[in-house]
Amino acid sequence: RASQQADTERLSRWKKWRRTSSKSLRKALSEVKGLSSYLVLWQRDIHSIEGKFGTGIQSYFSFLRFLVLLNFIIFILMFSFVTLPIIISEYGIFNSTIAYISPKNIDDNCTIYEPSGNKGLVYFYTYIKDLFSGTGFLEVTILFYGYYTIDAVWISIMRYNLPLAYLLATFSYLALSFLWIIKRSGEGFMQNLVHDADPFQSYCNKVFAGWDFCITDPNAARLKHRSLHYELQTDLQEEKLKQKIAERTMKEKLRIYSLRIFINIIVIAILSGCFYSIYRVTVFSQENSNVSIRNDTRTHSANLLVQYLPSMVITLANFIGPLIFSYLIRFEDYTPAFEIKLTLMRCVFVRLANIGVLLFSLWSQISDCAADKCEPCGYNYKLYPCWESDVGQEMYKLMIFDFIVILAVPLFVDFPRMLLVTHCSCKLIQWFGYQEFGISDNVLEIIYGQTICWIGTFFSPLLPAIATIKYFIIFYVKKIVLIHTRKPAARPVRASASNFFFLMVLLIGLILAFVPLGVSIAQIPSSKACGPFRNFNTSWEVIPDTILDFPTVLQQILFGMASEAFAVPFFMI
């Protein structure tokens, strides 16, 4: 401090003024930052969770907050570009009208589509059934693709090309999610890189720089002590284990490798079993939901149970799979850190692949072209005159069921368990104990929900709104469950790695969502009876059509951009 004082005396007046002004500027900025933290959603809640339960669990909740914001923005995007023009034109604001272009060269049979929007008197429970299965009165609302059977909207003199807007909005929300996730994971990536790249420094780093001097709460201090203790212990154990592995004899190595191959085969067998059962159940559910073509109606008289059968099977598979994996991995004799990573990878794969199998089985039904069922239109037009709405309904059902399960599990499992453990001193119950907050399980749950949302938004533009509300409610539910029924984890988790891991898995989910969307947009012929892409062969055709309408110069530029000489370096950069 004495040296600082000596320095200030030597400086000229100008520099002194600069210094004081920069100091006051910094003070003002930090005060503004402090104020703005009040505006951030849930800031205080997340702080209190961090103080009581540690940074690992806090990273789960800030991840949840990120997803709420992401879904909200996606909803605003889709709503303003796709739904709003239609609503405007329906009420005739700004002198807007809707333009229908009658389809040319299309067989009349393809365009028959009469959603049974509950005509006449119906029982009340039909409304409830429709609410849960997305059929009936919901089918003809803006919730699903089928409503957007409009080719253009005229607002005063401007022609708003709805099909193009629909497709571009889809691409833009995918790109937005992609960029936002990458930006968020950028910070975590650097930290991860440093952690991994310098293993021989890790002990010094932990010991000399381990204590966070900002902790003021004794509870948080206790947590930090525990996490440091645990980290040091695991590191030492891993080191011992690595030494042991290096000293393995040839015979032992052979035994372990063959055991690992065997267990991997078991894992693959279990996965195939899951996939096959999902396929069969989806086919069964679809067959029993579509009724008598003779009556020319598609009444969903099937039981709600049958409709939800695919969702139930998927949830069951998502629940059993991880249990089996965590049991099996003990036999494979890896280091603890690698064990955790491998189990997580397998669980991620199960969850995301289940959605893929569901979609695949749906498509196999839609494109089921045996016996000339799809002759005129390219898809099974009798059973699925508006197949995008059907896919949208399946995604809607998946999302609703996921939400119900997330609400029901705390209600029927966690709270009774907590009550039992607190009040009943029977030894068996005490052995169960309080449950820990399994971060990775919860994270995979919400990533699964988010992947469904991404895939489903193309078929059901209001799905992000439902997802936003769902995650909003889940935040409060999980927070209540955490505070009342959980004990602090005995194994604290490192926050930076967790954050980065969540975002990576989310990215995997997003990239996986690209595949079904790509196939739907570019491969499968769009329905001729509903939707904005009636007049095109596939949904993707909107874009080449629009480009052909551009002036020739622009066309040449665009073709030049799309040509390989340009695109490859562009993507690399």
Query: Rule CB under 8 A: which residues touch another protein?
Result: 1, 4, 30, 191, 194-195, 198, 200-201, 203-205, 207-218, 220-222, 225-226, 228-229, 232-233, 236, 239-240
Distance CA 235, CA 202 (A): 9
Amino acid at 11: L
Structure tokens at 500: 């980065």
Three-class SS state of 154? strand
User: Are residues 96 and 89 in contact, defined by beta-carbon separation less than 8 angstroms?
Assistant: yes
10 Å CB burial of residue 37 (0-12, 13-18, 19+) is exposed
Q: Which is nearer to another protein, 190 or 268 (CB)?
A: 190
**Which residue shows structure tokens 């002036």?**
551
- Least distance (Å) from another protein to the CB of residue 421? 22
Of 227 and 343, nearer to another protein (C-beta) is 227
Shortest distance, CB of residue 333 to another protein, whole angstroms?
Answer: 22
| Helix (H), strand (E) at residue 294 | none
**CA torsion angle 247 249 253 254 (round to 10):** 170
Q: Which is nearer to another protein, 223 or 421 (CB)?
A: 223
Nearer to another protein, 90 or 196 (CB): 196
How many CB atoms are located within 10 Å of the residue 492 CB?
20
Q: Nearest Cα to 377, choosing from 191, 125, 108?
A: 108
| Residue 222 vs 248, nearer CB to another protein | 222
Coil/strand/helix, residue 219: helix
Instruction: Provide, rounded to whole angstroms, the least separation between the CB of residue 31 and another protein.
Output: 11
Least Cβ distance, residue 134 to another protein (angstroms): 49
Exposed/middle/buried for residue 546 (C-beta within 10 Å: 0-12, 13-18, 19+): middle
Q: What is the dihedral of CA 518, 520, 524, 526, to 10 degrees?
A: -130
Q: Which residue's CB is nearer to another protein, number 203 or number 550?
A: 203
Distance between CA atoms of residues 421 and 209, nearest Å: 39
Count the Cβ atoms, other than its own, within 10 Å of residue 150.
21
Whose Cβ is closer to another protein: residue 218's or residue 544's?
218
Nearer to another protein, 237 or 258 (CB): 237
Question: 3-state DSSP call for residue 267?
Answer: helix
Select 52 or 382, whichever has its Cβ closest to another protein.
52
In whole angstroms, the minimum distance from the beta carbon of 384 to another protein comes to: 56
Question: Which CB, 107 or 212, lies closer to another protein?
Answer: 212
User: Would you say 221 or 473 has its CB closer to another protein?
Assistant: 221
Q: How far apart are CA 462 and CA 450, in angstroms?
A: 14
Task: Label the pairing between strands 97-99 and 158-160.
Answer: unpaired
Q: Which of 346, 328, 359, 339 is nearest to 271 (CA)?
A: 346
Shortest gap between Cβ of 238 and another protein (angstroms)? 11
Shortest distance (Å) from residue 567 CB to another protein = 38
Q: What is the DSSP-derived secondary structure letter of residue 534?
A: T
Q: How many CA atoms lie within 13 A of 248 on its CB side?
A: 14
299: its two tokens: 């009444």
Query: Rounded to the nearest whole angstrom, what is the least distance from the CB of residue 338 to another protein in the complex?
Result: 20
- The nearest distance, CB 15 to another protein, in angstroms, is 16
What are φ and ψ of residue 290, in 5° steps?
-100, 120
Residue number, 2 or 565, with CB nearest to another protein: 2
Pairing of strands 152-155, 158-160: antiparallel
At closest approach, how far in Å is the CB of 60 from another protein?
22
- Please report, for residues 46, 105, 148, the alpha-carbon distance to residue 197 in angstroms, rounded to integers and kept in the order given: 31, 62, 52
